[in-house]
A = this chain, B = another copy of it.
């Protein structure tokens, strides 16, 4: 198969001006991959800076509640900056150090990847610019605040839908200008080769740990593994621990207001996506018949994206990964239940995985185990969640804070 391809998906569709940059990146990445000390260093950084391995928490209350499969939760929320995004950025950071570059850029939607990159840049001493759709800058102000405090420059992108895909375009525009000094820290397993392969490699740390942990704790392989799928990095991360086993892998996409409403971000589940090529790679994109990308919707900003990892498109096409979708409403219900029964607060993104697991666990045998990948923590989502719950005291609080500022 052609390098950078997964079945018919993937590739490296980059402007000629980035050709050399990609050659260098591929070279550095392949050298790192061939050098076992690199992975060792990566593991050490993740242990020393980001509390890895993250636990695999046995959810005894949820297990009891559903009375079916044994439920385990992989705790990516306990990473530095509160999500699996840390794995990817720290890995790329190490690579940037090797390449001798001094400046990193990133796109961000929800802001999680931006915060993670800003963190990494502060830690490694890189200059950092984060591109973020203007809509997202407005919606995700807390993350913008932290990025700035971490020393990053956040550039609001005013093109297109002013969301994630536009931020990616703008990051590429920066890169084609300053490629000599700059590495573009792509935030998920998408984009041109080597990004999907490379990000998947860094995220494989999740699956490697989870595999060891489930055998330790459950004594055998899980029956199923659930992960939410935005770009797909947390999903591929955890799935890689189980690809060669008889384990069913379930990716849960953003069903938004319902697959039949048009307001969702499901590429694999449902029939609104089609093969396409943009942002540097070939995958299933949510697009119209002319090939124009369309607006997506999800309560979870991190799942609100038109494309999906080419690796997942391939695994989906081959039937190795089953795709499902969770609606915004289902997500809030699963979140509520998880908070009350286990005391953990999954991110809205992660809650998608919980939805599907909850649908299936009751029909499974207590002898079987399932793993839900909790890709991040939900406290970052307080503005969205409080709004979604229509919490009156929160409204009052925000109004009084605002009045304080108006004085």
**Which A residues are closer than 8 A to B by beta carbons?**
47-51, 54-58, 61, 75, 78-80, 82, 118-123, 125, 138, 141-142, 144-146, 149-151, 336, 339-345, 379-380, 382-383, 385-386, 389, 391, 393-395, 397-403, 405-406
Q: Is the CB of A345 within 8 A of B379?
A: no
- With a cutoff of 8 Å between Cβ atoms, the chain B residues found around residue A58 in the complex are 48
* Dominant secondary structure of chain A at its interface with chain B: helix
- With a cutoff of 8 Å between Cβ atoms, the chain B residues found around residue A55 in the complex are 47-51
Residue of B nearest to A406 (CB): B399
Indicate which residue in B51, B341, B398 contacts A54 across the interface (CB closer than 8 Å). B51
| Copies per assembly | 2
Indicate which residue in B56, B339, B341, B398 contacts A401 across the interface (CB closer than 8 Å). B398
A146→B381 CA distance, assembly (Å): 11
Closest Cβ–Cβ distance, residue A118 to chain B (whole Å): 7
Between A and B, 15 residue pairs with Cβ closer than 8 Å are: A48-B57, A51-B78, A61-B122, A78-B80, A80-B343, A82-B379, A122-B342, A122-B343, A141-B394, A146-B345, A149-B339, A151-B340, A398-B401, A398-B405, A402-B402
A347→B205 CA distance, assembly (Å): 28
A12→B402 CA distance, assembly (Å): 45
Indicate which residue in B49, B78, B380 contacts A57 across the interface (CB closer than 8 Å). B49
Residue of B nearest to A389 (CB): B149
Q: Is the CB of B399 within 8 A of A339?
A: no
Q: Is the CB of B48 within 8 A of A119?
A: no
Indicate which residue in B119, B125, B339, B406 contacts A344 across the interface (CB closer than 8 Å). B119
- With a cutoff of 8 Å between Cβ atoms, the chain B residues found around residue A56 in the complex are 48
Indicate which residue in B82, B141, B341 contacts A393 across the interface (CB closer than 8 Å). B141
* The 10 nearest A-B residue pairs measured at CB: A402-B402, A122-B343, A119-B343, A141-B397, A123-B343, A51-B78, A395-B405, A151-B340, A399-B402, A51-B51
**A120-B78 contact, Cβ under 8 Å, with A142-B382, A145-B393, A394-B145:** no
**A120-B394 contact, Cβ under 8 Å, with A51-B55, A383-B401, A401-B402:** no
Indicate which residue in B79, B339, B400 contacts A122 across the interface (CB closer than 8 Å). B339
